Amino acid sequence: MVLATGCMGPRLGGREFACHQLQDNRSAIDRYGGRDLLELAIDTPAESDARSSYAQRLTATTLGALGAGALLAGLVSGFATDPATQPAARNAAYGLAGGALGSFAVALLLAFTNKAPAERARHTLHWWSDHCP
């Protein structure tokens, strides 16, 4: 799986640098979300939870946009053709609308489940900023 993480990667300083940067930004941990939380969590024990939360949020956004496109395509194909005389166009519109509803359902589920890993990452970052080397 390829994530759109841009230039994020291991820091040059490693865990010690991550510890100092985390201690400098301790007050911002609760405000950060998504990509900022992931950038702060690199080279810390909270990195996997922050990466999971960011990936779920990115996936939910993508699925929502794809669902909207599928619903629009289904509506256009339903209005542009005569569904009574062209059952293939009607079936395609039903399939697109059903796929859009499924995408919306999964996007909604991911939107609710991405909060737990983010909170775990914040909790771990708070703990690690007090106990890191």
- Give the C-alpha separation, 25 to 34, whole Å: 16
Query: Who has greater pLDDT, 22 or 13?
Result: 22
- For range 10-30, the mean pLDDT: 79
Name the token pair of 59. Answer: 């996936």
- Give the C-alpha separation, 117 to 55, whole Å: 11
Per-residue model confidence as pLDDT tens digits over 49-84: 999 999 999 999 999 999 999 999 988 887 888 878
pTM above 0.85?
A: no
Domain boundaries, the chain: 14-131
List alpha helices for 9-114, DSSP H: 14-24, 35-41, 47-80, 87-113
Per-residue model confidence as pLDDT tens digits over 117-129: 999 999 999 998 8
Report yes or no: 117 and 50 within 8 Å, Cβ to Cβ.
yes
